[in-house]
Homo-oligomer: A and B are copies of this chain.
Amino acid sequence: MISCAADVSIRPHLLSRFLRANTKDGVTTLLPDFLPSQLPPRDSIQDRWLWDSEEWRKQRGGLPSCLVIATEGPVFSSGHDLSEMKGKPKEEIKEIFDLCSEVMSLIRRSPSVVISRINGIATAAGAQLAATTDIVIASPSSSFGTPGVRVGLYCTTPGVAVARAFPPKTAFGMLATARTLSAKEAHEKGMVTFLSKVEGEGEVHALDQLVHDVALDITSSGSQIQALGKWSFYTQIGMREGGGDGMEAAVKWAGEIMARNAKLDDAKEGFSAFLEKRKPSWKT
């Protein structure tokens, strides 16, 4: 059971198998739809866990503030296994992609910040997995590709995340030519959030250190603030009310979010600590 207003259906076993979701007493808490209308009236209890520090502490269960998706060996992920699809009827193939899209929803809906740690090659659905996470951290010798066109199966699904992380022409170039992009170029283009500096000897160690440092940056803030911030971020980026890039409408909406945020326990503690020049002791 999913306790939020989310219009998303995710198979229960995925919640535990693929990502450690926030499940307590059989209820799994995920972020609501990324729509400004999901901002509940102040006296509503809907999704209260995002807006009420007491409720957050009750619901959080064992959910960490930050999740890291990492793999071992020289390949981050090369996506689907073609032999699984070959000769299957269309409906069974669709089922594989449905499962895949639920994993992507789970990453987006997780109240945790999801990091992918890339050391090596991330191609096809592997590139999609990376591009779908909130933060991509890569070693410089890593690379990204969407080579499906080479086997007659265009990487349309990976392209969804890739075209939202890269500039559109970069994404299209990858899809149509099957050429890969180095992690350095992917960082220049904005898809890799943080690029590890050490190449060759010590590369893995430096990557792990960077992942550790970034995860520490995230977990050293209040967990409810991170969850609220993540939901608000993915909501505001889509707002286009009033035309143009929607900046004016989104800013007004975001002001309401911040005013509510300012009344949460972690904000009260954060303000006091800042003004008293001491380290905050987070409440969530």
Contacts and interface: CB of A to CB of B under 8 A. Distances in A.
A156 B229 contact: yes
A154 B247 contact: no
Interface string A251-263: 1101111111111
A161 B135 CA distance: 19
A254 B156 contact: yes
Interface stretch (A19-27, A200-208, A232-240): A232-240
A230 interface: yes
A269 to B, nearest CB: 6
B229 A175 contact: yes
Assembly of this chain: how many copies? Answer: 3
A176 B134 CA distance: 9
A200 to B, nearest CB: 23
By secondary structure, the A interface counts as helix
A266 interface: yes
A247 B8 contact: no
B246 A238 contact: yes
Contact of A152 (B171, B259, B264): B264
Given A101-B255, A105-B248, A108-B247, A90 B260 contact: yes
Nearest to A255: B97
B245 A153 contact: no
Interface residues of A, number: 114
A98 interface: yes
A223 to B, nearest CB: 11
Interface string A24-41: 000000000111101000
20 contacts: A85-B262, A90-B263, A93-B263, A94-B255, A97-B254, A97-B259, A108-B244, A152-B280, A153-B267, A156-B232, A156-B258, A157-B254, A161-B247, A164-B168, A167-B190, A168-B190, A176-B218, A177-B217, A179-B214, A234-B244
Interface of A: 7-8, 33-36, 38, 82-83, 85-86, 88, 90-91, 93-94, 97-98, 100-101, 104-105, 108, 113, 132, 134-136, 149-157, 159-161, 163-173, 175-179, 188-194, 214, 217-218, 221-222, 225-226, 228-230, 232-238, 240, 242-248, 250-252, 254-264, 266-275, 280, 282
